[in-house]
A and B are shown apart, each in its own frame.
Chain A
Amino acid sequence: MSRLLHALPPLALLAALAALPLALGSNPYLLNALIVTGILTIGAMSLNLLLGYTGQLSLGHIAFFGIGAYVSALTSLGFDVELGFGLRAVHEPWPAAVGFVLAVVAAGACGYLIGRLSFRVRGAYFVLVTISFAEVVRLVALNWVELTQGPLALTNIPAITLGLPGLGTWTLRTKLQNYYLVLAVGTLCWFVVARLVGARFGRAMRGLKENESLALSVGINATRTLTVAAVVSAAMAGAAGSLYAHYLRIIDPEVFAFTTTVGMVIMVVAGGKGTLMGPVVGGLIFGLLPVALRPVMAPEAQWIVYGLVLIVILFVMPRGIVPGLAGLVRRRPARAVPVLEASPEAPR
């Protein structure tokens, strides 16, 4: 019964999101905002795995999003680059759906490499190393013009084509089709995160977040746990990046913008880090806030509002909107139960 009760809010949200386009009619502006919001929300969900569950503030998360976007775009566009030493890499275009899979794999692999290196340091140093990695990747995307077209952007990226044997194929060109694709991928990511954090692995992650030395002393393998979290998180961000590339069908090195990472961090922190629902709620609010603010203020002024909201939330509701509201509903704020509390049966 309680399991059902727990599953109710996400299911209700999913149903509402699935029905939303019907209510909106075919307003392309709103639908576009929803699709981009959905893609960024997937990014926020992936960031939450690191920031919320393991407590590692990665400010280079956009690297994996951008790598996913570029890998997917280049796979489906093809390329021909000189590698030096007389070597040349030529790639004929492959279907966009293959690009999506490769984007997930490539982003995951980068998550492994960067994670293995970055998790050697903690706290402020981890933050700075992750920012640095992301900026180096951005500069490569900007300067390796032969491969990425640099600031001229990769254009004419094909839309994703899905096929089922015996049922034919669909090329997802319309906004409505892309909306449901993003919703499907987002739902899948939700399940991946839910399975991971609900299992023993999730307790290991939270243990590391609360007290790393204690977690190590009870036999949690910190490096392995953090690396797995980083790989899954990066792969999900790569999936989001791929969706972004095939939806907008044009990408330039601006997909690596630091402000996008900050936007995802705001979504996670405001929604409630370390909760399943938090990044989704935060993502919907902050993804759609520009739609609400557009008539009243200029885009640069909107970022002032985001910055202020981030500060106010950290002061007023440091655990985020979802845990904050849940606490209000229960009247008495739920006491955080430390994962590594001494077992009550232990002899005194």
Chain B
Amino acid sequence: MDQLIQHLVNTLILGGTYALLGIGLTLIFGIMNVVNFTHGALYTVGAYLTYLAVAALGLDLFLALPVAILGGLLLGALIEIVLLRPLRGQDIDTTMLVMIGAGIVLQSGTLWIFGGVAKAVPSPFPEAPLQIGPASVSWLRLFVLGAALLLIGLTYALINRTKLGLAMRATFQDADTAALMGVNVRVIYTATFAMGSALAAAAGALLGPVYVVHPQMGGPAELKAFAIVILGGLGNVTGAAIGGFILALAEELGAGYISSGYRDAMGFLIIIAVLLYRPTGLFAKAERVG
């Protein structure tokens, strides 16, 4: 029982960052119809920006997070303008391959610059964990959960309460009609990709200090993000948020009670099962899988 409670606490912490990753990807996937194979690389970049900000600039973790988010925002905008904008209207496979190429460049770039040795980001929090009944949580992980929930809330507010969010939702429903109504779809695409990338970088910035930062961390994270998006349904932000927690739960329980070696298999099994038996995701009302 105690073990189960500990697993549930871990699920909450992990689920928050997974939700961030998933929301970023589902926005890009849903609004732009781009399978973003740079998502994992941006997660890595976010983690390394935090490492740089803390280790090289001497900032604390609270200031490093905005640095990472800003970096993700700018890099995402750059990728969209340079690579995706000229490819608009191309088939999905071409953009997918270009994104794979960009992902390789970013990942190998971080490996080249920072080397293959994993880096630890120093934590400003006390070592002793917080005891809640039988479960214990480190202060760092609590901060990660709080920051993730705050960012999820801000994303929701941006999508549902601002003019930009309205334009994004309109573009998701029908880009042509949105353009006719005066929405600058090109700007919306750039904003969407930049925002999704910023969320991926934020997730990396939050999980980097919890684990360690290394150039290959993005690969598994990216595939987890795809699992979350598929679980939640294409372009479904709420679905992605819930999907993040479901994947975290599946991983925690799978690692705890089946075998820790198969922790990363959970996301793939979810992708396979959902796509083959309920391809519109768990929460979709009516969407077509093309």
| Residues on A facing B (Cβ under 8 Å) | 55, 57, 117, 120-125, 127-129, 131-133, 135-136, 139, 142-143, 258-259, 262, 265, 269, 298, 300-301, 303-304, 306-311, 314-315, 318
A63 to chain B, nearest CB (A): 11
* Interface bin, chain B: 35 or more
> Is there a chain A Cβ closer than 8 Å to B102's Cβ?
yes
A139 to chain B, nearest CB (A): 5
Please tell me if the beta carbons of A143 and B96 are within 8 angstroms of each other in the complex: no
Please tell me if the beta carbons of A129 and B276 are within 8 angstroms of each other in the complex: yes
Q: Which 3 A-B pairs rank lowest in CB-CB distance, beginning with the nearest?
A: A307-B104, A310-B101, A307-B105
The complex places the Cα of A124 from the Cα of B83 at a distance, in Å, of 19
Closest B residue, CB atoms, query A121:
B275
The complex places the Cα of A57 from the Cα of B37 at a distance, in Å, of 14
- Residues of chain B within 8 A of A120, CB atoms compared: 275-276, 279
Can you name 18 extra interface pairs (CB under 8 A) apart from A128-B226, A304-B105? A120-B279, A121-B279, A129-B271, A129-B275, A132-B272, A136-B272, A142-B261, A258-B219, A265-B97, A301-B112, A303-B104, A303-B108, A307-B104, A309-B101, A311-B101, A314-B94, A314-B98, A315-B98
List 17 A-B pairs, Cβ < 8 Å.
Answer: A55-B93, A124-B35, A125-B279, A125-B289, A128-B226, A135-B264, A139-B265, A300-B108, A300-B111, A304-B105, A306-B104, A307-B104, A308-B105, A310-B97, A314-B101, A315-B86, A318-B94
Please tell me if the beta carbons of B98 and A122 are within 8 angstroms of each other in the complex: no
| Residues on B facing A (Cβ under 8 Å) | 29, 35, 83, 86, 92-94, 96-98, 100-105, 107-109, 111-112, 116, 219, 223, 226-227, 230, 259, 261-262, 264-265, 267-269, 271-272, 275-276, 279, 289-290
- Residues of chain B within 8 A of A301, CB atoms compared: 108, 112
A143 with B102, Cβ < 8 A, contacts A129-B276, A300-B111 known: no
Please tell me if the beta carbons of B103 and A314 are within 8 angstroms of each other in the complex: no
A161 to chain B, nearest CB (A): 35
Please tell me if the beta carbons of B112 and A298 are within 8 angstroms of each other in the complex: yes
User: Among the listed A55, A128, A143, A304, which residue makes an inter-chain contact with B261, where contact means beta carbons less than 8 Å apart?
Assistant: A143
Instruction: Tell me the dominant secondary structure on chain B's binding face.
Output: helix
Please tell me if the beta carbons of A121 and B261 are within 8 angstroms of each other in the complex: no
Please tell me if the beta carbons of A123 and B276 are within 8 angstroms of each other in the complex: no
- Residues of chain A within 8 A of B271, CB atoms compared: 128-129, 132
Closest A residue, CB atoms, query B230:
A128
A123 with B223, Cβ < 8 A, contacts A303-B104, A307-B108 known: no
Closest A residue, CB atoms, query B112:
A300
User: Among the listed A55, A57, A259, A315, which residue makes an inter-chain contact with B96, where contact means beta carbons less than 8 Å apart?
Assistant: A57
The complex places the Cα of A131 from the Cα of B226 at a distance, in Å, of 11
Please tell me if the beta carbons of A310 and B100 are within 8 angstroms of each other in the complex: yes
Please tell me if the beta carbons of B104 and A262 are within 8 angstroms of each other in the complex: yes
The complex places the Cα of A262 from the Cα of B96 at a distance, in Å, of 12
A124 to chain B, nearest CB (A): 5
A143 with B93, Cβ < 8 A, contacts A132-B271, A307-B101, A314-B101 known: no
Closest B residue, CB atoms, query A266:
B101
The complex places the Cα of A189 from the Cα of B79 at a distance, in Å, of 39
The complex places the Cα of A124 from the Cα of B92 at a distance, in Å, of 8
- Residues of chain B within 8 A of A132, CB atoms compared: 223, 227, 267-269, 271-272
A237 to chain B, nearest CB (A): 19
The complex places the Cα of A307 from the Cα of B116 at a distance, in Å, of 19
A309 to chain B, nearest CB (A): 8
The complex places the Cα of A303 from the Cα of B29 at a distance, in Å, of 26
The complex places the Cα of A120 from the Cα of B107 at a distance, in Å, of 32
Closest A residue, CB atoms, query B279:
A121
- Residues of chain A within 8 A of B98, CB atoms compared: 310-311, 314-315
A171 to chain B, nearest CB (A): 36
User: Among the listed A121, A122, A311, which residue makes an inter-chain contact with B102, where contact means beta carbons less than 8 Å apart?
Assistant: A311
- Residues of chain A within 8 A of B100, CB atoms compared: 262, 265, 307, 310
Closest B residue, CB atoms, query A129:
B275
The complex places the Cα of A131 from the Cα of B109 at a distance, in Å, of 23
Please tell me if the beta carbons of A117 and B276 are within 8 angstroms of each other in the complex: yes
- Residues of chain B within 8 A of A143, CB atoms compared: 259, 261-262
B117 to chain A, nearest CB (A): 13
The complex places the Cα of A337 from the Cα of B93 at a distance, in Å, of 21
A135 with B276, Cβ < 8 A, contacts A306-B104, A318-B94 known: no
Please tell me if the beta carbons of B92 and A123 are within 8 angstroms of each other in the complex: yes
Please tell me if the beta carbons of B97 and A269 are within 8 angstroms of each other in the complex: yes
